[in-house]
Amino acid sequence: MRYRLTIEYDGGPFFGWQRQSDGPSVQGALEAAIEKLSGERVTVTGAGRTDSGVHALGQVAHFDLVKDFDAGKVRDALNHYLRPDPVVILDAAVADSEFHARFSAKARHYLFRILNRRAPPALEDGRVWHVSPRLDVDAMHEAAQFLVGSHDFTTFRAAECQSPSPVKTLDRLDVSQRADEIHIEASARSFLHHQIRSIAGTLKLVGEGKWTPRDVKKALDSRNRTACGTVSPPDGLYLVRVDY
């Protein structure tokens, strides 16, 4: 039986989604909880391998079990066994055997939150990127539009990125003001390693007036990692939703 999970988690305590030999991971926590429920050792496959410190509002994953469980029981039992880890199963469902959380995905949607005020966060510490200087949101959005579409994103990929090609199609990249937060919303079928964090750090330079929007296009066209702005911390990044 194949089960599909929709998962919410705080990435702060974890070394990322992927199972690690030297630290806690979201995948490892889920697999341990499933073993407690079923007595079976399984591999949980996620739609996106979020980095250390990156959060999820709607990560999707699948796994297979020999035993047959009601989907509601899977959700409730896993939430019980996952405590006290900050991981919650929002939904569990029986999936078709052809469903694959990663390869069946048509689009992934991410949100990056910048807290743009003088005072540091109290309640949202570790869940936003705190930037004190006032940022120019309109200039950031203008710059972001140069990155929309199909491009060679070598400038905005990590050196250790394992994607066979730097070419990706960014369907959406919007920057907007929400009270004292700036939201960067990105949608694509798939992303390169550190692509969104690299873009967020570069757009911050535009917001500060250190770069112009055209400088972002020049950095993109250079296809050179050294032309990228500083990579942002992971705190403000969320995997919001995966479309199938």
Distance between CA atoms of 241 and 92, rounded to whole angstroms? 15
Alpha helix (H) residue ranges in the chain: 26-38, 71-82, 137-144, 195-207, 213-222
Contacts 24+ apart (CB under 8 A), 18-27: 18/49, 24/85, 26/50, 26/56, 26/59, 26/87
* Residue 71 in tokens: 């989907």
Angle (CA) 192 88 15, round 5°: 45
177: which residues sit within 8 A by CB, 6+ positions away?
A: 137, 183
Catalytic residue chosen out of the listed positions 51, 91, 171, 180: 51
51 part of the active site = yes
> Taking the mean position of all CA atoms in its chain, how far away is CA 70?
29
Peptide bond between residue 84 and the one before it cis (omega within 30 degrees of 0) = yes
* Residue 222 in tokens: 């250079």
Residue type, 87: V
The SS3 assignment for 110 reads strand
DSSP character for 45? E
Instruction: Give the catalytic positions in this structure.
Output: 51
